[in-house]
Amino acid sequence: MAFEIIATGHYVPSRRVTNDDLAQTIDTSDEWIRSHTGIGSRHIASEDQATSDLAVEAALNALEQLAPGKAMEAAKTIDLIVVGTSSPDYYGFPSVACIVQEKLKIENAGAFDVVAACSGFVYSLDAAAGMLRGNRKRALVIGADLLTKITDWSDRGTCVLFGDAAGAAILEKTDAPEEGPGKRGLIRTVLGSEGSGASELLCARGGTRDPFKAGETLDKPIHIYMNGQAVYNFAVRAFTDTIERLLEEEGITFKDVKKIVPHQANMRIIRAAARRLKISEDKFFMNIEKYANTSNATIPVALDEYARSGDLNRGDLIMTVGFGGGLTYAGNLIVW
């Protein structure tokens, strides 16, 4: 029994905002953003879009790949919906996964969200695979975020970093081997957490720790607070450790891995990790220049772009690596 990705999809909102566009209203420049982060532009959702709207589009894109012209029919074959998100349509409940279930008219499917910040898609794939071990066959696994609605647009140190997007993968339980020669699909996952760093990256207001009070006037909506330097240091360490652990546990070297599909928060994090690991930056599939940091969506969007590029072939061994708020970190090894 193996857990294989049989289709992928993604969606980005149509409105593309360049660094120069941001510099019209924020004290920043294309030169600063590019040199400090590698970001050139980001896509920003419209006022009337919520995270589930992006998630549904990404899911339809994956279902269309699975069954051209029959995406809604293919949706009926889904037994489980898992959505990694840090920016749900509603606080607490309902989950984005339940809204996706209703919009795609998927019947008889379990649906829930995973909260692991930018590591969420990696966690979600492993959670879905674990739950397919029972009497379920197909899972729709989505990473979706609309962080621009929970961004402090007066904080130039964070607002230039984020964009909106969703990515999806359809994971299927197949008869292929999960171990030994010819093994396929999701073969290994590393999951980690460091709650001691929770305060370095968080949305402080609105939860049960500090709820809004009746009559309170807010000067800012709920927004992301980030200690950039602390998160940067954590990210480089967690990223390299996760990659090394996956290689070591699997007993392989970089030569065996075709590409690493990483979470992309800052190109400098990837560069620093590549230097530490003594590997070329070409080993990473990058698209941060176009989309910025889309949190849970970064890895599945990149995975879909890579899969559709024609360069990823059946049997190739690839790696995903994520890190983010929590703090969390995670990585998958996947035989495509």
- Residues annotated as catalytic are 118, 263, 293
CA 286 – CA 274 distance, rounded (Å): 13
Shortest reach from residue 227's CB to ligand COA, in Å: 8
CA 9 – CA 122 distance, rounded (Å): 16
| Residues in binding contact with ligand COA, number by CB under 6 A | 19
Shortest reach from residue 188's CB to ligand COA, in Å: 22
To 10 degrees, the CA torsion angle through 134, 172, 97, 209?
70
Q: Which residue, 279, 269, 297, 250, is CA-closest to 122?
A: 297
CA 103 – CA 299 distance, rounded (Å): 24
Q: Which residue, 246, 274, 273, 263, is CA-closest to 333?
A: 246
The nearer residue to ligand COA, 54 or 231, going by C-beta atoms, is 231
Interface residue with ligand COA among 2, 141, 160, 257 (CB under 6 A) is: 160
Cβ contacts of residue 34 below 8 Å, gap of 6+? 19, 40
Q: Is 232 in the site for ligand COA (CB under 6 A)?
A: yes
At 190, give phi and psi (nearest 5°).
-110, 130
Selected range binding ligand COA among 59-67, 94-102, 191-199, 229-237, rule: CB under 6 A: 229-237
Token digits of residue 291 = 């989309």
Interface residue with ligand COA among 8, 28, 41, 332 (CB under 6 A) is: 28
Q: Is 231 in the site for ligand COA (CB under 6 A)?
A: yes
Give me the 115-154 binding string for ligand COA, x by CB under 6 A, dash otherwise.
Answer: ---x------------------------------------
Q: Which residue is nearest to ligand COA (CB)?
A: 228
Q: Is 242 in the site for ligand COA (CB under 6 A)?
A: no
| Interacting residues with ligand COA (CB under 6 A) | 28, 32-33, 36-37, 118, 156-157, 160, 226, 228-229, 231-232, 235, 265-266, 293, 324
